Amino acid sequence: MAVELDDAQIATTSGAGLRLADRLRPSPWRQPWGMEGFTCLYILWSIVPIAIAVLFSFNKGASQSSWQGFSTKWYVGNSVQSVLHNPVLHQAVIQTLVLAVLTTAICVPIGVAFAIGIDRWRSRTSATLNLTMIFSFVIPELLLAIALFLLVTQALTFIGLGTEAEVAGLVVWNLSWPAVIVRARLVSIGRSYEEAATDLGASRLGAIRRVLLPMLMPAVFASAVLVFASTVDDFVIVEQLSSTAATQPMSVLIYANVHGGLSGPALNALATIMLLFSLLAALIGLLAYRWMTRGERQSSVEALTNIAGM
Amino acid sequence: MADRGDTSSRRDRLLWMGLAAPGAIWLLVLFVVPFYVMLAVAGGGINEFFQTVVPVWNPLHWSSWNLSGVWRDITGNGAFIGPAALRTLVYTAVATVISLAIAYPVAYFVARHAGRRKAFYLVLLIAPFWVSYMMRMLAWIDLLQQGGIFNSALSSVGLPGNTDWLGGKSVTVIFGLVYGYIPYLILVLYAFLDRIDQRLIEAARDLGLSKARTFWQVTIPLSKPALIAGTFITVLPMLGDYYTNQLLSGAPGTTMIGNVIEGQLDAPGYTGQGAVLSLMLLVVLLIPMTYYVVSTARASRENA
């Protein structure tokens, strides 16, 4: 039952009446139906086109706009153009996974160590390093990608274009995720646990390993999920630093073939696989995060915002 | 005792430096050095025969050859960079204003009024964040193509349904920019708006301000940091965007500065000019970037 009280009514209602109103509606603010409707429209606008794109990856025909029945031929069935059978397409899936795994495996440990190091080593150098790291976060990706392209083609030519350059670039572009998230957690943990451990006889390194790292684990895990998903979705850096078709991940392949080239629904299938990777990472991340912070009575809203890097 | 404390603190410092070192080296070699290479290429020359870049590493020997080439393209006859730069500014400004107009009410509602449905809405707001940019563009390419669902929908309500939306329309590019970057904007706005102290708004209402005046005189001023951060988060990537435009239009009539830079970099003999143009864009963006970085650093110091 929706009881709407306008301001004048609230102002003139007696104390008992106010308590009644309180009971019926916890907040004296009128429910903003207009804003809620607008929000729902936005959500529909943001999700329906993607749902349609996923749907058409299961189209029986070769059209991306008229539905001709359900089929998985663009994934596995078609012996020439499906993701499973077309060498270019499944190479792209593998390249995306390779890049995501390598980048996460290098970026997260380096970023976590970097966060601990600059947080504890308070000096002008660490402040400069922190600023550099934040700059690497806000710089437009195209500028960083071009600079990296020039680096590996003009200066460090032994790296050259290809997987090594892609991973190196993705690591530096994503380094700020673990660095920022872990640092925020470090600040909220404070130093007392670590000091207690060293007072009780642990070495500095032992205290980090046995006391600090376990407490940092949720943040480490959240940042790993973010790095993984943002590597899967990355486009600009990998486009500038890939060389042959063998080093092109899914995003680059979709970009190169959208206007002609490989046929339609196979691209939708590729994009759907990309989406699946990201969503799986997100889901695993959220569940693991809830499990690791189960003693902390975090609300689901907090867990969600933490896992999205907010 | 004091001696032992000294050595242990020195050892600690070495430990902190050692932990920070791999990240620091990575940032130095793959973030700072690359921009020096960009300078060396911009100030360098070109091998006339192979049309390849000859970087010059010593700043004293840098030439203005590439710079004057770019300057010609900005101001001289047949200049094409000026219009592209202007177009980039207009597209970015329009797309940012539209994005803020959509994102603010949504973020405001979910942060302050969603009540028990907050987690539900938050999942739906975060969902596009996990969908790759490429897929979101692909989805709209499917919908907007001739004979696509959008045109069919238009003609079914009696509007002309044969528009070539992907044939070089500014409207489509701006729409793509909004659609592409708005999820990030909403998340940033949400994070800030969620922290506004509800009691300040309640106090304004209790003290007799009307709803509209509370909004304009209390809520909006309190949202200023959110709006500034959100604007940065959308403007910076939009200014360096080239793929949205390439995917949704590809026509010269909608070229943005990112497309010019990308094109020059790939054209034999023009790599140096591409580097100059990238540096120019960087210099322009350095002001908002520095502002953002300094304010973020200050905020994190206050939290510490």
Cα–Cα distance between A178 and A309 in angstroms, integer?
Answer: 9
On whether both A120 and A240 belong to a single domain, the answer is: yes
In a domain, A103, yes or no: yes
Tell me if B266 sits within 8 A of A169, measured CB to CB.
no
Q: Is the pLDDT of residue A20 over 70?
A: no
Dihedral angle computed from the Cα positions of residues A35, A39, A41 and A44, in that order, rounded to the nearest 10 degrees: -170
Give me the CATH number covering residue A157. Answer: 1.10.3720.10
A49-53, A119-123, A278-282: lowest mean pLDDT where? A119-123
Chain B residue numbers touching A195 (CB-CB < 8 A): none
Tens of pLDDT along B7-45? Answer: 667 888 888 888 999 999 999 999 999 999 999 888 887
More confident residue, A81 or B290: B290
Concatenated DSSP letters of A38-60: HHHHHHHHHHHHHHHHHHHTTBS
Structural domain containing residue A21: 1-29
Looking at residue B303, what is its pLDDT? 57
When divided into structural domains, chain A yields a total of: 2
- Residues with Cβ within 8 Å of B81's Cβ and at least 6 positions away in sequence, in order, are B70, B73, B74, B257, B260, B277
Mean pLDDT of A39-48: 92
Tell me if A228 sits within 8 A of A105, measured CB to CB.
no
Cα–Cα distance between B268 and B98 in angstroms, integer?
Answer: 38
Mean pLDDT of B157-177: 86
Q: Can you tell me which residue has the tokens 């640092």?
A: A183
On whether both A25 and A92 belong to a single domain, the answer is: no
Within the 21-60 window of chain B, which residues sit less than 8 Å (CB to CB) from chain A?
21-24, 26-27, 30-35, 37-38, 40-41, 53, 55
Measured at the alpha carbon of residue B167, what is the angle toward residues A141 and B245, in degrees to the nearest 5?
5
On whether both A23 and A114 belong to a single domain, the answer is: no
Give the Cβ contact number of residue B172 at 10 Å.
Answer: 23
B122 in A contact zone (CB under 8 Å): yes
Within the 226-285 window of chain B, which residues sit less than 8 Å (CB to CB) from chain A?
232, 236-237, 239-243, 246-247, 250, 258, 261-262, 265, 271, 274-275, 278, 281-282, 285
On whether both A160 and A12 belong to a single domain, the answer is: no
Which of A302-307's residues contact partners 24+ apart within 8 Å by CB, and which partners?
A304/B119, A304/B122, A304/B123, A304/B126, A305/B122, A305/B191, A305/B194, A306/A181, A306/A218, A306/A219, A306/A222, A307/A222, A307/A225, A307/A226, A307/A282
What is the distance, to the nearest Å, from the Cα of residue A109 to the centroid of all Cα atoms in its chain? 17
More confident residue, B103 or A160: B103
On whether both A11 and A129 belong to a single domain, the answer is: no
In a domain, A279, yes or no: yes
Rg (Cα) of chain A, in Å, rounded? 25
For chain B, the helix, strand and coil percentages under 3-state DSSP, each to the nearest 5: 80, 0, 20
Looking at residue A23, what is its pLDDT? 45
Using a pLDDT cut of 90, give the percent of chain B over it.
23
Tens of pLDDT along B102-114? Answer: 999 999 999 888 8
Chain A residue numbers touching B15 (CB-CB < 8 A): 204-205
Looking at residue A10, what is its pLDDT? 41
Q: Looking at residue B129, what DSSP letter applies?
A: G
In a domain, A113, yes or no: yes
Tens of pLDDT along A186-223? Answer: 888 888 888 888 888 888 888 888 888 888 888 898 89
Confidence of residue A238 (pLDDT cuts 50, 70, 90): very high
Looking at every residue in chain B, the average pLDDT score rounds to: 85
Alpha helices in B113-197 (DSSP H): 118-126, 133-144, 149-156, 170-193
On whether both A23 and A95 belong to a single domain, the answer is: no
Tens of pLDDT along B36-84? Answer: 999 988 888 777 777 778 788 888 778 887 888 888 888 777 777 888 8
By the 10 Å C-beta count (0-12 exposed, 13-18 middle, 19+ buried), B31 is classed as buried
For residue B45, give the H/E element and its range.
strand B45-47
Cα–Cα distance between A205 and A189 in angstroms, integer?
Answer: 17
Mean pLDDT of B173-195: 91
Cα–Cα distance between A127 and A218 in angstroms, integer?
Answer: 25
On whether both A117 and A235 belong to a single domain, the answer is: yes
Does the structural domain B81-266 have CATH classification 1.10.3720.10? yes
B300 in A contact zone (CB under 8 Å): yes
On whether both A178 and A245 belong to a single domain, the answer is: yes
Of residues A120, A154, A264, nearest to B55 (C-beta): A154
In a domain, A16, yes or no: yes
Looking at residue B301, what is its pLDDT? 65
- Residues with Cβ within 8 Å of B198's Cβ and at least 6 positions away in sequence, in order, are B112
- Residues with Cβ within 8 Å of B217's Cβ and at least 6 positions away in sequence, in order, are B204, B209
Interface probe with A: pick from B108, B134, B164, most Cβ of A within 10 Å: B134
Q: Is the pLDDT of residue A102 over 90?
A: yes
Of residues B11, B31, B131, nearest to A50 (C-beta): B131
Concatenated DSSP letters of B68-111: HHHHHHHHSTT--HHHHHHHHHHHHHHHHHHHHHHHHHHHHHHH
B207: alpha, beta or left? (left if phi > 0; alpha if psi -120 to 50): alpha
Backbone angles phi, psi at B158, to 5 degrees: 90, 10
How many angstroms separate the CA of residue B191 from the nearest CA in chain A? 6
For residue B53, give the H/E element and its range.
strand B52-54
On whether both A101 and A233 belong to a single domain, the answer is: yes
The dihedral sign for the CA sequence B276, B282, B285, B286? negative
Looking at residue A112, what is its pLDDT? 94
On whether both A110 and A249 belong to a single domain, the answer is: yes
For chain A, the helix, strand and coil percentages under 3-state DSSP, each to the nearest 5: 75, 0, 25
Concatenated DSSP letters of A107-130: HHHHHHHHHHHHHHS-SHHHHHHH
In a domain, A39, yes or no: no
Q: Is the pLDDT of residue B91 over 90?
A: yes
What would the two tokens of residue A36 be? 């809620």
On whether both A109 and A21 belong to a single domain, the answer is: no
Question: What is the model's pTM?
Answer: 0.85
The type of residue at A53 is A
Tens of pLDDT along B219-256? Answer: 888 888 888 888 988 898 899 899 999 888 878 888 89
More confident residue, A303 or A182: A182
Tell me if A219 sits within 8 A of A184, measured CB to CB.
yes
